[in-house]
Amino acid sequence: MSARAVVSAAHGDGYVDLEFEPAPGCAGCSGVCLWRRLRATRLARIPAPDTLTAGVTVNVSLAERDLLRGAAIAHGLPWLALLAGAAIGAGLFDSDLAAFSGAGLGLVAAGLLLPSIRRRAERATLAGLRIELAE
């Protein structure tokens, strides 16, 4: 996965501010869907080589494994917690109410754990970004 961006500012601490170009629309709705109503550009501050200067266009690439890891954390962890909580509740007390309660407790546990796991995954993803000059 990759996106084009323009360096809006280069900082001496090894970070740059990037302004990402809007995503191209699909042919499905000719641009009237909610996706196209989002802000045209996105800003981000990411680590980059010191050779980048303001105004330069770059390609920012994300490895497929990082994209898959992010989706698994954001979607897979809550589902896993829901199912595990329901299974544990039903296994311990052998009732539907226990399964429902266990599923709820599992989701609460996932909600408490998810922010710290997400932060670690975001740091690993930032370390794996590739920034190359656009042609």
> Tens digit of pLDDT for each residue in 56-115?
999 988 888 888 988 899 899 999 999 999 999 999 999 999 999 999 999 999 999 999
> Between vectors from CA 101 to CA 96 and to CA 102, what angle results, nearest 5°?
95
Quote the domain boundaries for residue 108: 64-128
Same domain, 32 and 72: no
In a domain, 73, yes or no: yes
Same domain, 70 and 114: yes
pLDDT at 88: 97
Same domain, 12 and 42: yes
* Lookup result for tokens 């990082």: 66
Same domain, 112 and 94: yes
Same domain, 74 and 104: yes
Between 92 and 52, residue with greater pLDDT = 92
- Read off the pTM: 0.64
37 pLDDT higher than 60? no
Q: Of 61, 91, 110, which one is at a domain's C-terminal end?
A: 61
Same domain, 74 and 119: yes
The total number of structural domains that make up the chain = 2
